[in-house]
Amino acid sequence: MEPLLCFPDPLPAALTVALREAGHTLCAVARPEMVDAAEQASTKDGWGGAVVSTVEDPSEAMALCRHVRRREVPVAPLLLVVAPHQIGDLALRDELFDDLCVLATGAGEIAARLEHLLWRAGQGLRPDIIEYGPLALNLETYQAAVAGRVLDLTYMEYELLRFLAAHPGKVFTRETLLSRVWGYEYYGGARTVDVHVRRLRAKLGEEHAHLIQTVRSVGYRFGQVGWLPAST
């Protein structure tokens, strides 16, 4: 499971305990501009979701919501925790969060609501498996198979396939893939992505090579446009 992005830092103690007990890893940030650095440092596949409290500093909290929802890969689901008198301020801000609860609610209920949100988003605490058509990735054992045939991947091939398969239908530039998947110095530069895509296609085999599509003069896309998980 990827960590939850939390605001502010520290999160109210009761909330921290409840979320930890529910099995989540938390990563709290004090300001919106710290989100990207925190992400680089603590997670490889983005955030599992976010819990943002507006109680302490409403304008910073909203700024953080705007920041994480406008990114290329928006952080979702996002649960907003507000003080009772702040509910009126949420008008016309529906796109910034997925659900809200009032701070007066017990921490246990907040955790339960988050669980439900995660379940709806198809990211609950289930075995970590990504499936798309004939492809299956078991994130826990690091194994990948296509049409039941196990693939012999190198680490970077696996990581690239995992990143692409986690965001089906989405187009990524080479630079984005390089920074998100490799993330550290590598001799190939952006062309390395082409090399690895070619290697992955070779290993997927002719029949399944089309799972990774080249998007001319942009980059690569996994699967079809407009594909959504069956659970939504």
Residues forming the site for other proteins (CB under 8 A): 42, 44, 141-143, 150, 152-158, 174-175, 183-184, 186-192, 195, 198-200, 202-203
Our CB check for other proteins shows the closer of 143 and 231 to be: 143
Alpha-carbon dihedral 200, 201, 202, 206, rounded to 10 degrees: 150
Our CB check for other proteins shows the closer of 13 and 155 to be: 155
Our CB check for other proteins shows the closer of 44 and 66 to be: 44
CA distance 193 to 178: 7
Q: How far is CA 218 from each of CA 175, 176, 194, 210, rounded to the nearest angstrom?
A: 10, 11, 12, 17
Q: Residue 160 Cβ, how far from other proteins at the closest point, in Å?
A: 11
Q: Which of 66, 2, 20 is nearest to 11 (CA)?
A: 20
Indicate the helix (H) or strand (E) that contains 179: none
Which of 170-174's residues contact partners 24+ apart within 8 Å by CB, and which partners? 170/73, 170/221, 170/222, 171/215, 171/218, 171/219, 171/220, 171/221, 172/219, 172/220, 172/221, 173/218, 173/219, 174/219, 174/220
Q: Residue 190 Cβ, how far from other proteins at the closest point, in Å?
A: 5
Q: Residue 11 Cβ, how far from other proteins at the closest point, in Å?
A: 23
Q: Residue 122 Cβ, how far from other proteins at the closest point, in Å?
A: 23
Our CB check for other proteins shows the closer of 110 and 153 to be: 153
- Residue 187 makes CB contacts below 8 A (sequence gap 6+) with none
Q: Residue 45 Cβ, how far from other proteins at the closest point, in Å?
A: 11
Our CB check for other proteins shows the closer of 97 and 172 to be: 172
Our CB check for other proteins shows the closer of 125 and 150 to be: 150
Q: Residue 59 Cβ, how far from other proteins at the closest point, in Å?
A: 33
Q: Residue 217 Cβ, how far from other proteins at the closest point, in Å?
A: 10
Our CB check for other proteins shows the closer of 4 and 161 to be: 161
- For 69, counting Cβ atoms within 10 Å of its Cβ (0-12 exposed, 13-18 middle, 19+ buried), the class is middle
- The strand pairing partners of 123, in sequence order, are none
